[in-house]
Structure 1
């Protein structure tokens, strides 16, 4: 096995897990994260002392572990999570990057941000309330973003006397709903984040439960990043032309590889122009290499002097996505102002931003029964709906089923730069389960 192939194999077996938490207000997301950090001994002494001091000021005798992630003053005053809080921690078995996302319906847009790169989503439910609308909303967002693993954490089991039948009823309802959305894997775990039951250590109060704790599941859930089989994509960020005496003819195309691998000598196509060439060289951190892979930032040198600029996409010639000016997608609307038919917007895809117009809004998703509300005319904050957008210039979008990175885009207000919606190209709930089956069959990387 060559050195490059061995490095690719090692990277494919990565031990890094990105996961996000989601749930309704007061379901205990921040407390769960705090308990996870505390009981896995991932909290520094000074951090714990700061939390203890802040808890005492609020009249609490025990440390409020939710304060480990609720860092904004407004969050602490209101007792809710507003912004996405990212935390890094590690155990002997795996490294983790977690995103603690807001639960209030007003901040569902932030959950989209936190879950967009997640390999796993932990959806919390208050055992006393069961599955509510915001629970369904978070399950829908996780399904839309194609998060491959979802954990249902039924929290506050201590407040329902650790009753197995309460947990079973909630798990059955959520699993049926999420499965209908096309979520491929759902694991239900009964917990008490406040008391620590089944978070890091097994609970003595729920001997009827024989499954893993939250941490055990996070440490063992399979995470596949098969870098050798992805659809290779390099969005060009910058054209490098030093024009020095040492490098008079140097012309390199720099960017971060969004997916897959590139090799010297490989035929490539530049989109949307469709012009072709071969890779003459790859520069990585000031050195020439024969192969590079995602997520490395590299500079490609081509054998032919062709017109390439920021926003172009370099792909293998045998694996080029089609270009289009009619983008059909499902979007999650994140702005306070509505998105309306006929509205002029900017569409940002990887490093390319083009003018566009919203031609149609065929439907809006009704979360209660997953039905489509036809021709709503507009989408408002936190709505999930299908759109047809016409762009002024061709775009090379993958289907979101092929790639979460190059199949996603943003709609932006051209007047003030406000992000209006996050979009998933080629996605709809009507075809989501079909797309999932095809993706599994084809071995697409999510």
Structure 2
């Protein structure tokens, strides 16, 4: 099943921009809800330092592992014909609330500067529990450069359940909200549980991993994972979503059919990328915190940032991999000998607590700017968003003490929607967007 969205670009573009302009929310009131006594981030992360030696770049190498087609076909034969994104969106059973209808606590989690121009809080059924936490976002603007998938504008957000609280059956699970964003005034969504085929496709298990970053590119969804023998990326196929048939708390094959803790849909992994050198360590492969797509490179590339503790003095790594241009490998990374994937660009930064990363080359610039979102060292505090390059770093300032802690509270990943010019991200409570041009003007 192939995507055919590009031919709609011209006729939808003007109307889409008009819709976005007419529905933008001026949520600057959120800034008044933040205490002006926030402590300032003491040091700028400074200029990016290129990594060029083999000793530095070799730990970034990935090894590709694709699930055999016979495994996926056996699972599909047992569960029924796979469905695509349209089927999930048509069955949406949750509604996002626009910013004005959200609580003051919700809005207080938004960026102070720059202010969000569009923002949404989650359906009350999902906002009532703190066990599930959102951390990653990607859109149909990543999937296809015309901004739509089929006939829809879509936003995907990744959530992970706590491993220590809540029902035992749900601990550590990973799920994705498929948001139908065609109507900016009333987005609706449906959950899909992420799973991994086992026993040659005769069964599946839960992914059971934190997904702090994800990118939807062509027909594939790449997500960060921390399971198995090494930190990895898992790969999902948006045309291989399966319906469940039994509504129990079990996950996998059960008497009478297939179950997924009550979820109607599951998406089985079709592959993974693991660091060839093993699990992440300070001197070895990085623990991947965030992902995003960069369409400004040739070919398009996957951008990644390293997870380090807030306040750490260890230099984190930023790097990128090229996507394959082979039509038979849509949405997969470019591989060399024996399925190996090498980073095509990498840097070190003094930024700590990275949870969002974005690379973008502005008009007239000699190289790309890297936008790095950092979480606060305090619980649920506001973080900072810095723009870095090889010359230095800049960030917005806010509050009476000119703090750099102006970004969202407990902010997650970043995703640039090229067709609309918006950067999407999320706090622990809200999904929001800021035009990249507005973000750049806020940096000092």
Q: TM-score range by the shorter chain?
A: under 0.3
- Per the normalisation by structure 2, the TM-score is 0.27
Structure having greater relative contact order (Cα 8 Å, sep ≥ 6):
2
Q: Which has the higher helix share?
A: 1
TM-score, with structure 1 as normaliser:
0.27
Q: Which has the larger radius of gyration?
A: 1
